[in-house]
Amino acid sequence: MNFLSQLKKHQRFLYLIVLSTAAVTFLQSSSTGPAEKKDIDRTGSPIDNKTCSACHKDGNYGSLLEITLKDDGGDAVTRYVAGETYTLEATVSGTSGSVYGFQGVALTDANDQAGDFSNPSTKTQITTLANREYVEHSGDVTSTGNSVTWETDWTAPTSGTGVVTFYASGIIGNNNGSTSNDDPTDAVTLEIPESTVSIEDRVAGSFSVYPNPATDYIIINTGNLNATEVRIVDITGKAVISADSNSQQIDVSGLSKGIYVVQLINGKSTKTEKLVKL
């Protein structure tokens, strides 16, 4: 009986060790990203309507998440041009805390993947889940300044996609190996409509614009194109500068920073080139 009793105690002890190890592994697994490790959406999107608060709670670190889409010049954009590449920036900040995380996804109105993520920054990864790309933290991310920023390139979808919505949520944790005393952020959404201007019809070598990016002026080399008008439009399609085709140098110093499209018009067709104003 003593032998059997000791054997049962030993079995119970081993069972508790295995159970505890599994529990710790489950609780810590999201430290490498919820999509990558758990195959779950925690962006607050319509896919699952859940954020990090579905598991993590009880902390109070003043957690805040901000997401911004930026152009080549580092300026926030409010519309995207089909096929263009931008930078998605996500920042989680707070008053204290040990580790930081976030997850984001870009969706169409039909909740399909919108565009493509690429070139993630340090401690950032791109994970595909149910045919959608998620950008999220990778590994334990710490900070000495109470904030962490992740970046990734985002290439806009094809023309006609319409409004793209970025969904994201973040978290600040105490790194105690459990889901307690962590402070998830509220869900954040960023809607970016499609620009009415497209640059897909530009023809390489048809004409050139320089310097580009520009600050004060641009010089247009029309090559052998027989153009009648030069027009610069913003991403909403509004013409902000018009000039005749003989105006090879155009003053752009009065334009706000951002992305524009230079149109070379010959009456029958329009050739375009992107212009970045600094």
Domain residue ranges of the chain, discontinuous segments joined by +? 29-192, 208-277
Burial of 77 (0-12, 13-18, 19+ CB in 10 A): buried
Predicted local confidence at residue 52, as pLDDT:
87
Task: Looking at the chain, list the stretches that DSSP marks H as alpha helix, in order from N- to C-terminal side.
Answer: 2-28, 34-38
Looking at every residue in the chain, the average pLDDT score rounds to: 83
Higher local confidence (pLDDT), 11 or 203: 11
Cβ(97)–Cβ(61) below 8 Å:
yes
Collapsing DSSP states into helix, strand and coil, what is residue 176?
Answer: coil
Predicted local confidence at residue 71, as pLDDT:
85
pLDDT interval class at 198 (50, 70, 90): low
Q: How many helices (H) and strands (E) does the chain have?
A: 2, 19
- Tell whether the model's pLDDT for residue 142 goes beyond 80: yes
Asked, colleague to colleague, whether 29-192 and 208-277 share their fold, the answer is yes
Q: What is the CATH number of domain 29-192?
A: 2.60.40.680
Separation of CA 225 from chain center: 38
What phi and psi values does residue 13 have, to the nearest 5 degrees?
A: -65, -45
The two tokens of residue 211 are: 């310097």
For residue 211, is the peptide bond before it cis, meaning its omega torsion is within 30 degrees of 0?
yes
The mean per-residue pLDDT over the stretch 116-132 comes to 95
The mean per-residue pLDDT over the stretch 99-117 comes to 96
Q: Computed over its alpha carbons, how large is the radius of gyration of the chain?
A: 26
Give the span between the Cα atoms of 180 and 149, in whole angstroms. 24
The two tokens of residue 156 are: 């806009």
The mean per-residue pLDDT over the stretch 148-155 comes to 96
The mean per-residue pLDDT over the stretch 107-125 comes to 96
Higher local confidence (pLDDT), 152 or 5: 152
Predicted local confidence at residue 229, as pLDDT:
84
The mean per-residue pLDDT over the stretch 128-136 comes to 96
Predicted local confidence at residue 124, as pLDDT:
96
Q: What are the respective helix, strand and coil percentages of the chain, to the nearest 5?
A: 15, 40, 45
CA dihedral 78, 83, 87, 90 (to 10 degrees): 70
Predicted local confidence at residue 86, as pLDDT:
92
pLDDT interval class at 206 (50, 70, 90): low
- Tell whether the model's pLDDT for residue 112 goes beyond 60: yes
> What is the architecture, at CATH level 2, of domain 208-277?
Sandwich (2.60)
Tens digit of each residue's pLDDT (9 = 90 or more) over 3-57: 445 544 545 544 444 434 433 333 344 567 888 878 899 999 999 999 988 888 8
Query: Which amino acid is residue 206, in one-letter code?
Result: S
Predicted local confidence at residue 269, as pLDDT:
66
pLDDT interval class at 185 (50, 70, 90): very high
Predicted local confidence at residue 197, as pLDDT:
65
Instruction: Return the minimum-mean-pLDDT range out of 116-125, 209-218, 240-249.
Output: 240-249
Determine if the pTM surpasses 0.85.
no
Give the span between the Cα atoms of 47 and 44, in whole angstroms. 8
Higher local confidence (pLDDT), 271 or 277: 277
Instruction: Return the minimum-mean-pLDDT range out of 11-20, 119-128, 158-167.
Output: 11-20
